[in-house]
Amino acid sequence: MLSTFRPFSRFTRESGALMRLSVPIILTQLATQAMGFVDTTMAGQVSAVDLAAIALGASLWIPVLLLLRGVIMALTPVVAFHRGARDYSAISVELFQMVWLALLFSALLVAYLVNAEPILRWIGVAAEIIPIASDYAFALAFGVPGIALFYTLNGFCEGMNNTKAPMIISVIGLLVNIPVNYILIYGKFGLPEMGAVGCGWATSLVYWLMSILLYSYIKGHHHYKTILCFSDAKPRPKEMFHLLRLGLPIGMNIAVCGSIFAVIALLIGRIGAENVAAAQIALNISSMTYVIPMSISFGITIRVGHALGAKEESGAIERSKIGIMVAALLSLGSVSMFLLFPDWIIRLYTTDPVVSATAATLLVFTAMYQFSDALQTAANGALRGYKDTKVPMLLAIASYWGLALPLGVILGLTDYLMPAMGEKGFWVGIVTGLTVAAILMLWRLYWVVKSKRRIAQIADFRRPLKC
């Protein structure tokens, strides 16, 4: 009887430790994602064109944001590993070198966003949407350095096992974003009425506020003062290249996952504003629920990184397994929400009957890929903890760009296999691609663990973990 309860007690102990670490990350990501939710819902009350402009502007913004976020994410497992090994001097060097990388990437991304209009025209987006969408992207460009610094400081805090401070600051940012959005959208206090473009300026201002607040917290923290040494702030190309080599595959991986949704929105833009609006509703609410498995994957990365830094190899295996199980179980909540309450969800965005009907259908497809998305995301988090980033990037590219997108284009826009399904065809491609990605990521994690001969140490599985 006792042996029966041991696996369950290990599961509850590790899942509890994971959730204590991940819940603040979830709230941080939800607060950040909620800014996009607020933008979408508030712009949707102005007009369908404003809602479509937000969708297309975000489609240009989200891939580069995810690329930036992914590159900076390399800091979390690196800091977690050094913390597990109690090598605090290395943490200071890694943080400052990542700041330099973040600023360099920011400059490139700003140049990209300020040239949104020719990109939208080249894609063939409906003419009435282009001016608003390009102005929205231009406004977001102002906030790129701010969000880059926030993500860098956030990665440092996460690696140090401190996820609460970024959470609190993200919630503050969200609460500030709502009234600033309202003022700029509707032109209050003598300001011009900007519509959807006002959402971009509000978001940029809030990003800068968040980075300033988190920097102030870290600078005044009694423990971090003893770790950080500003003499390490001088650029060190060798360390920067090391971080880039680790972070670029992560960034490409995340950008590939997120950009497929952005590209789909852009392609649907050829059909019409109502179709884009419906797709944006499904994509936006899906991105909100995705932060749960994504945040848990960050927690898995930290837990696995700590275990490996402390040379607890069997503990890293256990943390990977339990983390994936937790993410998969929690995804069932999203499935239930999409299937049971589609009308309630859609009413948060629009009351347009045409847009609502299409969005309701897309939410059914969205429910179908929640479980596989959680599996592949959690497995990817464990792989990051093992500092395995290149092969997962290639697997993601094959699943999304090699399978999901081509299949979506064929089913959605052509009559090659059947009469064109419109936006529903793209969602069939997404479901197929994510299912294949989940299988490949789990296989890769199994191979990495086995290749390092950690399966042979399974006898240590019963050893209590340090939480």
User: For residue range 78-110, what is the model confidence (pLDDT) as tens digits?
Assistant: 887 777 777 777 788 888 889 898 888 888 888
**Could you tell me the sign of the dihedral formed by the alpha carbons of 42, 116, 294, 342, in that order?**
positive
**Residue 163 to residue 297: CA distance in whole angstroms:** 14
Calculate mean pLDDT across residues 122-151: 81
Residue 2 lies in a domain: no
- Domain with 128, as residue range(s), is 8-452
**Residue 146 to residue 144: CA distance in whole angstroms:** 5
Residue 1 lies in a domain: no
Distances (CA, A) of 142 to 72, 111, 146, 204, 444: 19, 10, 8, 6, 39
**Residue 263 to residue 253: CA distance in whole angstroms:** 15
Q: Quick one: which of 245, 242, 249 has its CA closest to 389? A: 249
Question: What is the biggest distance separating any 2 CA atoms in the chain, rounded to whole angstroms?
Answer: 72
Interhelix angle 273-309/313-340, nearest 10 degrees: 160
Residue 211 lies in a domain: yes
Residue 466 lies in a domain: no
Domain total in the chain: 1
Residue 464 lies in a domain: no
User: For residue range 107-124, what is the model confidence (pLDDT) as tens digits?
Assistant: 888 888 888 778 777 766
Residue 443 in tokens:
């296989």
Residue type at 211?
A: S
Residue type at 117?
A: E
Residue 330 lies in a domain: yes
Phi-psi region of 422 (alpha: psi -120 to 50; beta: other; left: phi over 0): left
Residue 457 lies in a domain: no
User: For residue range 166-209, what is the model confidence (pLDDT) as tens digits?
Assistant: 889 988 988 898 888 888 877 777 777 677 778 888 888 999 99
Residue 172 in tokens:
């503050």
Residue 462 lies in a domain: no
User: For residue range 33-75, what is the model confidence (pLDDT) as tens digits?
Assistant: 777 667 666 766 666 666 677 767 777 777 777 788 888 888 8
Calculate mean pLDDT across residues 215-244: 80
For the entire predicted model, the pTM comes to 0.70
